[in-house]
Structure 1
């Protein structure tokens, strides 16, 4: 018997805003929405596909009453596929991300950023050829 990693839940103040940001970052679409919840993904999960093998998890944004207050214990890494890391950082800044310092030091090959609600993520190596 085994389990599959099917959703990553992100608690936030504004699920619609955060889902829209991450849809732009990752080229995802909205799968489902209801009061206080938005689910996004790059594919339409079916029970058959999930049973057949591990697929990318969906991102599930759920409204909570409190804002983020401390550094994340879990974060996403994103890799640009058709641009340099510097160009992707510029695009993400234009979408509403910010650069943050979580003690990573200078001269790193990745850039630490935060989404519009302050959730940290890293922009890592470019996969552009």
Structure 2
């Protein structure tokens, strides 16, 4: 038997800001938890196995580069338009040492958590 990834968990300071950003970015619905957390669920039309996201309250700000991060892909393949949409939602461009030749764009959410938008689905 092996383990499977069940959800993506992110420690955040502002549950409201972050749930609005990530739900809009992913098209997920939000359910607020009684403990100040929020759970984001994929839409019914999501691909099988799409992971839920749990935003849990954290006492401190993020420090340093993330050691892991999500890789997103635009479902319609329009990478440039999706970068602009995510920036309009509150993301910002992030420099983690990329050269510009990569097959992705590095962005950060409103609290500085890095993520990548892939130019094409992984193979």
Give TM-score scaled by structure 2 length: 0.85
Give distance in 2, aligned partners of 1:108 and 1:93.
19
Aligned to 1:100: 94
Conserved in 1, the CA contact under 8 Å of 2:42 and 2:51? no
Conserved in 2, the CA contact under 8 Å of 1:109 and 1:124? yes
Give distance in 2, aligned partners of 1:118 and 1:124.
18
CA root-mean-square deviation: 2.0
Conserved in 2, the CA contact under 8 Å of 1:25 and 1:92? yes
Q: Which runs of 5+ in 1 are unaligned?
A: 45-53
Give distance in 1, aligned partners of 2:24 and 2:77.
15
Query: Could you say which structure has the larger radius of gyration?
Result: 1
Aligned to 1:30: 30
Conserved in 1, the CA contact under 8 Å of 2:77 and 2:119? no
Conserved in 1, the CA contact under 8 Å of 2:103 and 2:120? no
> Is the deviation greater in 6-15 or in 93-102?
6-15
Conserved in 2, the CA contact under 8 Å of 1:38 and 1:62? yes
How far is the alpha carbon of 1:41 from its aligned partner? 1.4
Q: Which runs of 5+ in 2 are unaligned?
A: none
Q: 1:55–1:32: structure 2 CA closer, same or farther, 3 Å change rule?
A: farther
Q: Does 1:13 align with 2:13?
A: yes
Give TM-score scaled by structure 1 length: 0.82
Q: 1:92–1:43: structure 2 CA closer, same or farther, 3 Å change rule?
A: closer
What number of residue pairs does the alignment pair up? Answer: 118
